[in-house]
Structure formats: structure tokens, C-alpha cells
Amino acid sequence: MERVEFTLDGPALVVPARGCILFVRFRLAAHQEMDAVFCDYGMLSGRVLRLFNCRTKTFLVLAGPVSIVPCDHALKVGIMTLPAEQVVEVFQMATPPWYHRLEEDALALARQSEDSAGEIGLINLFRAMTGPK
């Protein structure tokens, strides 16, 4: 991850390098807590930063007879508009595999991982290490 310089008097477009996305950390309005969003690019207009093609990262865990490792995927948020004063920092990072992955794709990957783990005996090893539920 590489920090992207973001200032009110900087360039109007905040664009990552080819093959990268933006990771924007911002302070929630009237709170001390921070949140983050991933997006394709941003545009500064006055004192407002508009972020385009935003996504948030989440994960999927199958509920079934076998516990598996969760599979990450992205939820589409669309366009976000933030007061520039709320932006804490902006980074560019290589586009991760989950960024364009849909929930259906994550579900298929999770099921595939479950089958593979069962075939090679990892599930029994995990159960032995974690004990009975």
C-alpha cells in the first residue's frame, strides 16, 4: 500500500496507478470513529470528495456440517460523497482478488474450498485441533 497525497489545494482527480484501487479512511460525521471504503477513483470539487465505484469488503462463511475458511468479496456501494475535512488518509493498493468478486462467486469458492479441505483431510485436522463444539 502506498500513501496518496490528498489536500484541498491538490489536484482535482485522485486516481490510483494502473492495476490499483484507492483505499480511503474517513472520520464518521460527529464521531471519533473511522470507517474505510475502496474505490476506483475520486474527484475533488470544492470542499467535497466524490468517490466512484465504491465497494466495501466483507466475507462469507458457509453454515453447514463443516466449518470452512471465510471467502472475501466486495459489496457495491456506488458513489460516495464526503466532506474533504472528514478524509483522514488515502492509499493506493494493488487490486485485490475480492474487489470484483460477487457474493455468488464467493459462495462458489467457499463450497469448492470446503470440498477440497474434506478431500485432503484438513477438516478432520481442524476438528481435532479445536475440539468438540
* CA trace torsion 68, 73, 80, 41 (10° rounding): 140
* Domain residue limits at 37: 2-130
Asked if 43 and 49 count as a contact pair (C-beta separation under 8 A), the reply is: yes
pLDDT at 67: 53
| Range 7-28 average pLDDT | 90
- Give the chain's domain count: 1
55-98 pLDDT per residue, tens: 988 876 665 555 555 677 788 888 999 998 999 999 999 999 88
